[in-house]
Amino acid sequence: MVRDIDVKLLTDNIKEMCIEATHYLSPDMCAALKTATENEESPLGKQVLDSLSENLEIAGKEMIPICQDTGMAVVFLEIGQDVHFVGGNVVDAVNEGVRRGYVEGYLRKSVVGDPIERINTKDNTPAILHTEIVPGDKVKITVSPKGFGSENKSRIFMLTPADGIEGVKNAILTAVKDAGPNACPPMVVGVGIGGTFEKCAYMAKKALTRDISVASEKAWVADLEKEMLEKINNTGIGPGGLGGRTTALAVNINTYATHIAGLPVAVNICCHVNRHAVREL
Amino acid sequence: MSKNIVKVPLSKEDAKSLKVGDYVYLTGTIYSARDAAHKRMSEALAKGEALPIEMQGNVIYYMGPSPAREGRPIGSAGPTTSGRMDAYAPTLLDLGLRGMIGKGKRTNEVKDAVVRNGAVYFAAVGGAGALLSHCIKKAQVVAYDDLGPEAIHKLEVEELPAVVVMDSEGNDLYLTATEKYKR
Ligand code: SF4
């Protein structure tokens, strides 16, 4: 059975989700920050982490965005194959939701219409829209406003099969060390391994939206996530890059099949303001 | 322990006395400027024009706020990455700029200019924009209005928390702080 969904529903929900995501972090992010604060050894690091908790409280209570960089709006739509959109164009509806969310929600407009001409579009559109077709008749929306202090530190490495797992570990550590204080640590590190150039980057981005308290379903990947988190925290970069034991809150890794000649690795760095709102229609 | 309150604009003596790792609270007047405003200032200088704000003794906050809700002076107001201003900072420091507030590493050129002019580089907590907005009591656009969040704002701040990450002798906390917690 085909299910009709009015695209106005996309607009209304995405508008609210832009505002929600920029003012409240998900429970897993809040919990991880709390645990990190308890365990941090550096006094200055602890002070930074305390400020972050206080910041979250003020943001939610007074409706001031958690961070002034309210990001570029990355929207994932997982569309059931039995869904039939009615009432307009999906892409326009998504952008209209972003426009309303950023204008009505007092969010910063940080998007320029052309990478070289650099004229601000004044409503934070266009969004970055990713769509996937999945079984069923539902639509899962994830809105993930991405800040660029950390986005700028993200990397892609086209490794060769001979580089193997050690090459992968090296790539992740290289990106994190290079990011250092610029990416507002404690970070969340999203990693894609395998696929093609663009698939790999997409997996890294999507990995950031996964609940950080949930490990990968693949045993070797879950082990790698754990090992890399420990290695990253052993760099000593710490909260704000001012030294400490909390450099990352989580490493989330996604993998996919790849070519006999390749081993792509993408590392999407996110700050502690790892924002995502999720809803299902 | 009492709060280490530092007056801004920053006097030569205060700048000299601040040491790397000091946790301070800035009170007084500062200016916001980020990428686009720095580019315009540099273009103005290249044309031999005057800058829209005085540099001597002043402190620039690398920050572009989110819009203010009714009744508030400013929206979320945390630091942006300083490194993108590295190409412009030495010139401004040579014109008398005494402090910069941002986040992240600087180049050796900036460090040399900091030492040469007895200036200070502070870090504010990145991603604490809601908290930091409470320390800003007044905000007024004083130049480049058309740049929106990237316009230069004059900011009255009260006890804005910041850490000295590079002092007037060129000591760099980002280089030394991690050692102690490395395993
Ligand atoms: S990196 Fe994250 S926390 Fe830092 S300024 Fe950008 S969005 Fe905010």
For chain A, the DSSP string reads --EEEEHHHHHHHHHHHHHHHHH---HHHHHHHHHHHHH---HHHHHHHHHHHHHHHHHHHHT--SSS---EEEEEEEEETTEEEESS-HHHHHHHHHHHHHHHTT-----BSSTTT--B-SS-PSPEEEEEEESSS-EEEEEEEE-HHHHTT-EEEEE-GGGHHHHHHHHHHHHHHHHGGGG-SSEEEEEEEEE-HHHHHHHHHHHTTS-TTS--SSHHHHHHHHHHHHHHHTT---GGGSS-S-SEEEEEEEEEEE-TT-EEEEEEEE-S----EEEE-
Are B123 and B162 in contact by the 8 Å Cβ rule? The answer is yes
Range B70-91 average pLDDT: 96
How far away, in angstroms, is B45 Cα from ligand 1 center? 31
Question: Ligand 1 pocket: which of A271, A274, A275, A276 to mutate (most atoms <8 Å of CB)?
Answer: A271
Tokens 């052993």, residue? Answer: A234
What are the C-alpha distances in Å from A25 to residues A67, A186, A214, B98, B160?
11, 14, 16, 37, 24
Angstrom distance (rounded) from CA A203 to CA A175? 16
Lowest mean pLDDT among A85-89, B64-68, B178-182: B178-182
Residue A166 is predicted with a pLDDT of: 97
Q: How many Å apart are CA B61 and CA A95, to the nearest integer?
A: 32
Rounded-to-integer distance, Cα B22 and Cα B170, Å: 14
CA distance A95 to A143: 12
- What is the domain extent for residue B29? 5-182
According to DSSP, the residues that pair with A78 across neighbouring strands are A132, A140
B127 lines ligand 1 (CB under 6 A): yes
Contact state of B165 with A69 under an 8 Å Cβ cutoff: no
**How remote is the C-alpha of A136 from its chain's centroid?**
26
Question: Do B78 and A272 make contact, defined as CB atoms within 8 angstroms?
Answer: no
- Selecting from A55, A70, A108 the residue whose C-beta is nearest the C-beta of B128 gives A55
pLDDT greater than 70 at residue B53: yes
Query: Is B23–A244 a contact, with Cβ atoms under 8 angstroms apart?
Result: no
> Ligand 1 pocket, A67 CB below 6 A?
yes
Give residue A1's pLDDT band: very low, low, confident or very high (50, 70, 90).
confident
% residues pLDDT > 70 (chain A) = 100
Q: Strand, helix or coil at B70?
A: coil
Chain B residues touching A151 at Cβ < 8 A: none
Calculate how close chain B gets to A83, using CA atoms only, in Å. Answer: 37
What is the three-class DSSP state of A19? helix
Burial of A154 (0-12, 13-18, 19+ CB in 10 A): buried
Q: Which CATH number goes with the domain that contains B140?
A: 3.20.130.10
User: Do B129 and A235 make contact, defined as CB atoms within 8 angstroms?
Assistant: no
CA-based nearest residue to B4, from B165, B177, B178, B162? B162
Q: CB–CB of A108 and B23 under 8 A?
A: no
Q: A with B: how many residue pairs have Cβ under 8 Å apart?
A: 162
Contacts of A122 in chain B (CB under 8 A): 148
Residue A45: per-residue pLDDT: 95
Active-site positions of B read 38
* Atom 7 (ligand 1) nearest CA: A147
Which among B105, B134, B161 has the least Cβ separation from residue A182? B105
Strand pairing class (A263-270; A187-195): antiparallel
- Are A263 and A168 in contact by the 8 Å Cβ rule? The answer is yes
Number of separate domains in chain B: 1
Residue listed under structure tokens 């769509």: A131
Mean pLDDT of chain A: 96
Region A149-178: mean pLDDT is 97
Q: What is the pLDDT of residue B1?
A: 56
Distances (CA, A) of B59 to A210, A264, B151: 40, 44, 16
Of all residues in chain B, the percent with pLDDT exceeding 90 is 94
Chain B nearest CA to A54, separation (Å): 7
CB-CB under 8 Å, B130 with A62: yes
Residue A95: other Cβ atoms inside 10 A: 21
Find the residue in B nearest to A121 (Cα).
Answer: B148
Cis peptide before A186 (omega within 30 of 0): yes
Closest Cα in chain B, distance from residue A20 (Å): 15
Chain A nearest-CA residue for B147: A120
Helix, strand, or coil (residue A5): strand
> How do residues B144-181 score in pLDDT, each as one tens digit?
999 988 999 999 999 999 999 999 999 999 999 888 99
CB distance A32 to A212 below 8 Å = yes
Question: What DSSP assignment string belongs to A213-243?
Answer: TS--SSHHHHHHHHHHHHHHHTT---GGGSS
What φ, ψ does residue B112 adopt, rounded to 5°?
-60, -40
Angle (CA) A145 A238 A233, round 5°: 95
Distance separating alpha carbons of residues A56 and A64, to the nearest angstrom: 9
Beta bridge partners of A165: none
Report residue A11 as tokens. Answer: 């607009």
Distance A150 CA to ligand 1 centre (A): 6
- Determine the atom of ligand 1 nearest the C-alpha atom of A70: 7
Residues A124-136, mean pLDDT to the nearest whole number: 97
Nearest to A68 among B36, B129, B179 (CB): B129
Q: Does the interface predicted TM-score (ipTM) exceed 0.90?
A: yes
Q: How far is A188 from chain B (nearest CA, A)?
A: 13
| A191-249 tens-digit pLDDT | 999 999 999 999 999 999 999 999 999 999 999 999 999 999 999 999 999 999 999 99
